[in-house]
Amino acid sequence: GQQLNQSPQSMFIQEGEDVSMNCTSSSIFNTWLWYKQEPGEGPVLLIALYKAGELTSNGRLTAQFGITRKDSFLNISASIPSDVGIYFCAGLNAGGTSYGKLTFGQGTILTVHP
């Protein structure tokens, strides 16, 4: 089935550093979503992207929809301890016939040391 390759798998950084993670796909996507999941909770939607080349910010978070429509990245600037969690990318395959059938990346585990 369709898979997203998300990297890196994990990151250990110091507070104040910038973070970058990305997702790539072998096929074209119509939508890219970025979620954050904290321990014991469900994923929370951070940013949604709908157009190739789109660059969207949400506070210290910035995400882009790749021009090829096969990739997306998420940047976090000036990380703080509460940024800790698992970040997931998710996408909707442009060739799919089933609305809503998002494909999720494997997740990036972020640890921020004070």
Partner 1 sequence: DAGVIQSPRHEVTEMGQEVTLRCKPISGHDYLFWYRQTMMRGLELLIYFNNNVPIDDSGMPEDRFSAKMPNASFSTLKIQPSEPRDSAVYFCASSLVVGLRSNEQFFGPGTRLTVL
Residue 95 touching partner 1 (CB under 8 A): no
CB of 54 to partner 1, least distance (A): 11
In which order are the strands placed within the sheet that holds 19-25? 4-7, 19-25, 71-76, 61-65, 55-58
Residue 110: partners with Cβ closer than 8 Å, 6 or more residues away? 10, 11, 13, 19, 76, 79, 83, 84, 85, 86, 87
Amino acid at 18: D
CB of 30 to partner 1, least distance (A): 8
Pick one of 12, 14, 42, 82: the residue that binds partner 1 (CB under 8 A).
42
Q: Which is nearer to partner 1, 4 or 79 (CB)?
A: 4
Residue 114 touching partner 1 (CB under 8 A): no
Residue 80 touching partner 1 (CB under 8 A): no
Give the integer Cα–Cα distance in Å for 60 and 52.
21
Residues at the site binding partner 1, with contacts judged by CB under 8 A: 30-31, 33, 35, 40-45, 48, 50, 88, 92, 98-102, 104, 106-107
